[in-house]
Amino acid sequence: MAAMDIGVLLPTGTAQWGAADPRELIAFGQYAERLGFSSLFVNDSLISPRIEALTMLAALAPVTEAVTLGTAALMPFLRRPIQAAQSLGSIDLLSGGRLTVTVGAGFPGRFGRPLYALSELPWAGRFGRLDETVALWRALWDGAEAFHGEILRFDDIPPATRPLRAGGPPVWLGGATPAALARTGRLYDGWLPYPPDPADYASGLRDVHQAAADAGRAAEDITPALFVTVRIDDGGERGRQALDDYARATYGMPLEELEKIQAVVTGSANQVVEALGRYAAAGARHIVARLGALDLHSQRDQLERIADLIPAVQGASELKGEHRARCPRQS
């Protein structure tokens, strides 16, 4: 079984890098690669000030060597679809074929309807628009000169920037609703949710695999990933207080509320390895760790602490995989 990939979400929001020079984020990404992280992901939003996602990846592409560069998650409705295909194809070229694109349609609340209003697009039909946008990208990356969907229709499309890889970069879907699970299995190359309970991850992944099988696809064609906020701290309540500060600054809600809707792992190094191991047992094979800290110095400290755990987390995932092979799930 392939080793678990451990990646990191770069702190591109101003709430995470604070008073630091934002250009230090490039060095931060290079340092993460040297520490052994296998991927660098960036978030996408118009709500909080941040370095724009594709701009950040374009800056990292020529100064990194092997890490996957990814979005977690890109919201395509914020961009013109053909322009986004051009940008993504360009980043894939500049990175030597290292791009992975996780997409999402937004969700109710401050990360949903207000952004659609700013983009002058309807909230209704957003999932169909997302799927068609990805289909358009793939068609353009394959050299199509026209595209006729139910929502998006284009004729006489000029030659697009072709990614390095045939067919373009893999496209993952974020989300864990029943509809999202079904669409992941039918249409996407990976799954990047953030369920608080590993049992929900396991059941969701089973649904993804069933949908894939129903569509004639192999389970192995879909990368099972996990987006999780991580903080290593031996201080117990001190660590939880730091995460509470992070949750309030990032989402405007206390930690106890964030834990109800997103995967959050904290505690000592051993406790974090154990918690991530439970997601590995549930089937996760690519972890994107968001660092629970509010300034670049503290982010770097957490980066180093998590890097020290990479061998242990990968070892735990291999042991869990061997156990599943010996003890298949009973139907």
CATH of the domain at 182: 3.20.20.30
How many Cβ atoms are within 10 Å of 256's Cβ, its own excluded? 11
- Domain annotation covers residue 294: yes
Q: Is the pLDDT of residue 24 over 70?
A: yes
- Contact (Cβ atoms closer than 8 angstroms) between residue 206 and residue 277: no
- Contact (Cβ atoms closer than 8 angstroms) between residue 230 and residue 302: yes
What are 148-200's pLDDT values in tens digits?
999 999 999 999 899 999 999 999 999 999 999 999 999 999 999 999 999 99
- Report residue 18 as tokens: 């604070």
Q: Is the pLDDT of residue 221 over 90?
A: yes
Number of domains in the chain: 1
- Domain annotation covers residue 129: yes
pLDDT band at 330 (very low <50, low <70, confident <90, very high): very low
Q: Is the pLDDT of residue 318 over 90?
A: no
- Domain annotation covers residue 138: yes
- Domain annotation covers residue 286: yes
- Among the listed residues 61, 47, 50, the one whose alpha carbon sits nearest the alpha carbon of residue 11: 50
- Domain annotation covers residue 331: no
- Domain annotation covers residue 69: yes
Q: Three-state SS for 77?
A: helix
- Report residue 259 as tokens: 């834990």
**Domain of 221, in residue numbers:** 5-326
As a whole number of angstroms, the distance between CA 260 and CA 140 comes to 40
How many Cβ atoms are within 10 Å of 297's Cβ, its own excluded? 11
- Domain annotation covers residue 175: yes
- Domain annotation covers residue 152: yes
Nearest-10 Cα torsion for 302, 51, 66, 298: -10
Give the contacts of 322 (CB within 8 A, at least 6 positions apart): 1
Q: Is the pLDDT of residue 325 over 50?
A: no
- Contact (Cβ atoms closer than 8 angstroms) between residue 69 and residue 40: yes
